[in-house]
Amino acid sequence: MGELIDIAESNNPTTQAAWNRAKSSAASVGIAKSDLYPTLFATVSGTTYLNPQLFGPTFVLQDWAIFDAELHLAYTLVDFGARSTEITAAKARLVVANLSFNKEHLILIRQVSQAYFSLLRARGLREAAEVSLNDAKTTETAAQERRKNGLATVPEVLEAKAATAKAAYDVQSTIGAEQVGIGDLARAITANPVKPLKVEPLDQLKIPDALDQSVEDAIHTAFKDRPDLQADQARVRAAQAEVKHAQTAYYPSLTFSGSKGWIRGFGEQYGFPGTYASTRNYAAILGLKWTVFDGFRRESSISQANAEEKVATQEVHDRQDEIVNEVWNDYANAATALEQKQAAAALLSASSESYAAALESYKDGVRNFLDVLAAEDALAQARSIDVIARTQVLQTFTDLQFGTGDLLANHPRGNHP
C-alpha cells in the first residue's frame, strides 16, 4: 500500500494544486517583505519639442532636444507597523497553505487506504466463495456416492447440485466486485485499471488486536496534529494581523525619495545659433503623509477585519467540536470492529467444525442431508463475515488515524515516500 500511496502522491492533481497554492503563498510573503527595502530604478529619456515663448506682440520659437539619464531611489522610513503586520499576515497565510497541502495529503492517503482495504475485502470474499464452492462440490460428491450405494435419494443429489450452482454463482458475483474494487483503487492512485495491480493478501497483513490509546488521548492528539484545525488556527493569526494592519492606516508615513542623473541637451532660438550643454542634476524629497479623512474607509476596514477575526475564531471552535465528535465515533467504531473480529473468528472456527462433523455424520448415515446443507451455508456465511470483520478493523483504524491526524505521519511508505 505504501507504494500505491507514493504513486497517488506523485500523480494526484488535487495535491499538486495544493502544492502550487502553497508556493503562491510563499511568493506572497516575499512580495510583502519587498516593501521593507528601497526601490531603485533607472530612467533614460530623450525629448525634443518646439517651445514658443511670448515676448511682446509675437512668439519667439525655441527648439529643444534633451537626453536625460537618472537613478531614482524611494524608501519608506517610518510607517508605524504597516509593513510588518502585512508580513505577519502573509506568513500566517503561508502556514495555512502549507497545512492545507498536508490536509490534502491526509485525505489522499485515506482514500488510497480505504480503496486498498475495499479491494482486499472483495478479494477475500472471492477467495472465501471459491473455498465454499469446493465445499459444495465435496458435499455433492458425498451425495452422489451415497446415491450410488442406495443410501441417498434423487432429491438429495439435486439439492446438492443446486447448492453447487449457487456457490458458483456467488463466485462470479465476487469476481465482479473484485474488478470494481480494482477500478476504484486505480482511480484513487490516478492510474489505469487495465494494468494489473499486485496487492498483499489479507492473510499477510498485520491486523491490530487492541487500541493503544484512550479516546481522551485520541482527541488530544487530534487537537495537536490535525492539519485542518492547525490551518484554522493560522487563519485566526492572519486575521489578527490584518486587524493590526488596518489600524496602522490611522498613522502617518514618512518617506524619502531622491534622484541623481546627467542631462545633455541642444537648444536653438530661431534667429540665433544653436548650442549644446550638459550638467549633473539631483533631487531629494522628504515627505510626511497623514490621511486626515478618507470617507470612513479606515473605520470600515477595521470593522471588516474584526468581523473576519471573529469568524475565524468561531471556525476554530466549530472545528474542535467536529473533531471531538468524529474521533469519538471513529474510536467507537474501531472498538466495535475489534470485538466483531474476535466473534467472527470464533464463528468461523465453530462453523468449520460443525460443517466437518455434519458431513462426516451424513456419510455415516447419522445426519440427514438438510443438516449438511445448513452447515455448509453457515460456514460460507462465516467465511464472509470473517473477511468483512478483518477488513473492517483495518478500515476503522484508518478512519481513527485520519481523525487524529496520525495517518499523515504513520501511513505505510513505499520506496519513494
DSSP for 400-411? HHHHHTTHHHHS
Q: Residue 161: which pLDDT band, with cuts at 50, 70 and 90? A: very high
Is the pLDDT at 256 greater than 90? The verdict is yes
0.85 exceeded by pTM: no
Is the pLDDT at 310 greater than 90? The verdict is yes
Q: Average of pLDDT values for 173-177?
A: 95
**At 47, which helix (H) or strand (E)?**
strand 39-55
Phi, then psi, of 183 in degrees rounded to 5: -65, -40
Is the pLDDT at 68 greater than 50? The verdict is yes
Q: Which three cell numbers stand for residue 29?
A: 510573503
Is the pLDDT at 273 greater than 80? The verdict is yes
> How distant, in Å, are the alpha carbons of 86, 119, 289, 311 from that of 92?
10, 41, 29, 16
Rounded (to 5) percent helix, strand, coil in the chain? 65, 15, 15
Please tell me the predicted confidence (pLDDT) of residue 394.
94
- The sheet with strand 253-269 has its strands ordered as 39-55, 58-78, 253-269, 275-289
Q: Residue 414: which pLDDT band, with cuts at 50, 70 and 90? A: low
CA distance 353 to 302: 76
Please tell me the predicted confidence (pLDDT) of residue 417.
44
Q: What percent of the chain has pLDDT over 90?
A: 72
What CATH number does the domain located at 2-37+79-252+290-410 have? Answer: 1.20.1600.10
Q: How many CB atoms lie within 10 A of CB 232?
A: 21
CA distance 398 to 407: 7
Please tell me the predicted confidence (pLDDT) of residue 415.
61
Average pLDDT, the chain: 91
Answer whether 135's CB lies under 8 Å from 376's CB. yes
CA distance 239 to 302: 11
Please tell me the predicted confidence (pLDDT) of residue 59.
85
Is the pLDDT at 412 greater than 80? The verdict is no
In 220-342 the beta strands, taken as DSSP E runs, fall at 253-269, 275-289
Q: Average of pLDDT values for 399-414?
A: 85
Residues sharing a CB contact under 8 Å with residue 237, sequence separation 6 or more, in sequence order = 88, 92, 95
Q: Average of pLDDT values for 379-398?
A: 95
- Kindly report which listed range (274-283, 311-320, 405-414) carries the lowest average pLDDT score: 405-414
